[in-house]
Amino acid sequence: MNLISIRIITEDVKLLVNFYERLTKMPVLQHTDDFAEIKTKSATLAIGSTRTLQFFGGGEVAKAAQNRTAIIEFMVEDVDSEYQRLADFLQPYIVQMPTIMPWGNKSLLLRDPDGNLVNFFTPVFTEAIKKFKN
């Protein structure tokens, strides 16, 4: 089994596409007005409008802007440089400034415009670095 993607359901695809494009500096593949994807080497972050829920059984299957349990995580080369690059843009979204976590990652935690938690992290302790070496 292989985790391929995480999909965010939103009322405003364009807003999230613009946010994640700026955040990640990666191209967003906008397939339709209702569906877009950011493809990384290990997984895809998909963004779907609430209108796509009709294909999964209707609007009650998922609710936009109500996630309070999952964190979307991006491993970055240097979390401090990413923070510096995005500092002005991120001000309304920051939850936690770059902080070293007990498990060995330096982490910048923020919320996207829909309130989903997003973590940019860089392994900094030896064990954390080893964990992500391929």
* Spans of all domains in the chain: 1-64, 67-134
Residue closest to 82 by CA, chosen among 24, 123, 20, 124:
24
Q: Please state, rounded to an integer, the average pLDDT across all residues of the chain.
A: 95
In this prediction the pTM is 0.93
pLDDT confidence of 71, banded at 50, 70, 90?
A: very high
**What's the rounded mean pLDDT across residues 70-89?**
97
Q: Do domains 1-64 and 67-134 have the same CATH topology?
A: yes
Helix (H), strand (E), coil (C) string for 25-89: CCCCEEEECCEEEEECCCCEEEEEEHHHHHHHCCCCCCCCCCCCCCEEEEECCCHHHHHHHHHHH
Which CATH architecture group holds 67-134? Roll (3.10)
pLDDT of residue 60: 84
Q: In this predicted model, what pLDDT tens digit does every residue of 83-121 receive, in sequence order?
A: 999 999 999 999 999 999 999 999 999 999 999 999 999
| Domain 1-64 architecture | Roll (3.10)
Give rounded-to-5 percent helix, strand, coil for the chain.
30, 35, 35
Q: What percent of the chain has pLDDT over 70?
A: 99
**What's the Cα-to-Cα distance from 69 to each of 77, 91, 124, rounded to whole Å?**
26, 22, 25
Give tens-digit pLDDT for 36-59. 999 999 999 999 999 999 888 888
